[in-house]
Amino acid sequence: MKYEFNKEVKGEFESVKKIVIEKLKDEGFGALYTLDMKEKFKKALNEEFRRYEILGACNPKFAKKVIDIDKNIGLLLPCNVLIEQKDEDTIYVSIVNPSAVINISGNDKIIKLAKEIAEKLERVIKNI
């Protein structure tokens, strides 16, 4: 099982990021935070790096369900979304496959919910 869903998209970074966020919203997810690795590497290491941002995506409905089943499952949340500048007009978008990650919980109820979440995130990738 692949641990991610991914797609290359032609376009400008911020435009693609905006579309990704919109498609996440269409499936009930919000972006809790953005981690800008280019900025972090520049500040911490004084090194240049390509645009590489990680969004922490959360669907509150599903997050509540899985936390109610296992209070420690938060260690595996939220669902990360990677947006990376590949070249001038190509953006690489990748979203974690929760089914691959959540399987380590060993909890059948959570694994079943992870499949539902994975279907939603796979639609996000297909629709960008």
Q: What is the pLDDT of residue 52?
A: 98
**Summary mean pLDDT of the chain:** 96
Q: What is the pLDDT of residue 104?
A: 86
Domain boundaries, the chain: 4-127
Q: What is the pLDDT of residue 5?
A: 97
Give the residue-averaged pLDDT of 5-34.
97
Give the residue-averaged pLDDT of 82-93.
96
**Contact in structure between 33 and 14 (CB atoms under 8 Å):** no
pLDDT band for 1, please (50, 70, 90 cuts): confident
Say what the pTM is.
0.93
Nearest in space to 4 (alpha carbons), one of 83, 98, 74: 98
pLDDT band for 125, please (50, 70, 90 cuts): very high
Give the residue-averaged pLDDT of 21-50.
97
93-110 confidence digits (pLDDT tens): 999 999 998 888 889 999
Give the residue-averaged pLDDT of 20-38.
97
Q: What is the pLDDT of residue 58?
A: 97
Q: What is the pLDDT of residue 105?
A: 87
Fold of 4-127: TATA-Binding Protein (3.30.310)
